[in-house]
C-alpha cells in the first residue's frame, strides 16, 4: 500500500465525515464550515487524479467565493427555529421524490463511469490537463459556456439592483 492509497482513504473519510456533518448539524453556520471541509477533501481527490486545475478552481470558486457568500447570507438572515415556517407533508413528499430521482441519476452516472476511470487509473490519456479542458470547453461546449456567462452577468446585475437602496 503506497502513499497515494493512504491519502485517498484519508481524503475519502474526511469527505464522507464532513458531508454527513453538513446534513446532521443543527447550526447552519457549522453546516457551511463542514461543507468547506468537504470541498477541501474533494480538491485533494482532484490532485490525486492529476487534475490540478480542477483542484485549484474548486478551492477558489467553491470553498473560497461561494461558501463565504453562503456563510455571509446565513449570518445575515439570522435563522431561528421560531421563525422557520412549517413544511407541508406534500412538500416533504415532493422532496423525497426529487431525492429519489437524483439517486437514480447518480446510479446511472456511476454505472457508465467504469470506462473513464480505467483510463485515469492506468495513467493513460490527458484527462485533467488544462490544454484538453480548454479544447473541449471552447470547441465542443462554446455555446453553453457563453450562455452561462450571460446568465452570470444577469445575476450580477440583479444582485446590484436588489442591493441598491431606494
Q: Do 83 and 162 form a contact (C-beta atoms < 8 A)? A: no
- Do both 4 and 76 map to the same domain? yes
Average pLDDT score over residue span 127-144: 78
Regarding whether 75 and 8 lie in a shared domain, the answer is yes
Same domain membership, residue 120 and residue 95: yes
Say whether pLDDT at 129 is over 80. Answer: no
Q: How many CB atoms lie within 10 A of CB 105?
A: 10
Full-prediction pTM beyond 0.95?
Answer: no
Q: How many CA atoms lie within 13 A of 137 on its CB side?
A: 12
- Residues 56, 15 share a domain: yes
pLDDT tens for each residue of 6-18: 999 999 999 999 9
Give the domain extent around 163: 129-166
Question: How does the average pLDDT of the chain come out, rounded?
Answer: 81
For cell 468537504, the residue is: 38
Q: Is the dihedral of CA 25, 30, 35, 40 positive or negative?
A: negative
- Residues 61, 92: one domain? no
Q: Within this chain, do residues 51 and 122 fall inside the same structural domain, yes or no?
A: no
Q: Report the C-alpha gap between 4 and 14 in whole angstroms.
A: 15
**Residues 122 and 133 grouped into a single domain:** no
25 with 72, same domain? Answer: yes
Non-local CB neighbours of 152 within 8 Å, separated by 6+ positions? none
Q: Per-residue pLDDT averaged across 134-142, rounded?
A: 83
- Number of domains making up the chain: 3
Same-domain check for residues 33 and 77: yes
Write the pLDDT tens digit of every residue in 30-89: 888 899 899 999 999 998 888 888 888 888 888 888 887 887 777 777 666 566 666 778
Residues 18 and 39 both lie in one domain? yes
Q: How confident is residue 123, by pLDDT bands cut at 50, 70 and 90?
A: low
Amino acid at each position: 500500500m503506497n502513499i497515494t492509497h493512504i491519502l485517498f482513504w484519508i481524503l475519502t473519510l474526511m469527505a464522507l465525515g464532513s458531508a454527513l456533518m453538513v446534513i446532521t448539524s443543527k447550526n447552519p453556520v457549522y453546516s457551511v464550515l463542514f461543507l468547506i471541509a468537504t470541498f477541501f477533501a474533494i480538491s485533494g481527490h482532484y490532485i490525486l487524479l492529476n487534475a490540478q486545475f480542477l483542484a485549484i478552481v474548486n478551492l477558489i470558486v467553491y470553498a473560497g467565493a461561494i461558501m463565504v457568500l453562503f456563510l455571509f447570507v446565513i449570518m445575515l438572515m439570522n435563522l431561528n427555529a421560531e421563525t422557520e415556517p412549517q413544511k407541508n407533508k406534500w412538500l416533504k413528499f415532493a422532496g423525497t421524490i426529487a431525492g429519489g430521482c437524483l439517486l437514480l441519476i447518480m446510479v446511472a452516472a456511476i454505472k457508465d463511469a467504469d470506462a473513464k476511470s480505467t483510463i485515469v487509473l492506468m495513467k493513460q490519456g490527458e484527462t485533467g490537463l488544462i490544454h484538453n479542458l480548454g479544447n473541449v470547453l471552447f470547441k465542443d461546449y462554446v455555446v453553453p459556456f457563453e450562455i452561462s456567462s450571460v446568465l452570470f452577468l444577469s445575476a450580477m446585475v440583479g444582485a446590484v439592483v436588489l442591493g441598491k437602496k431606494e
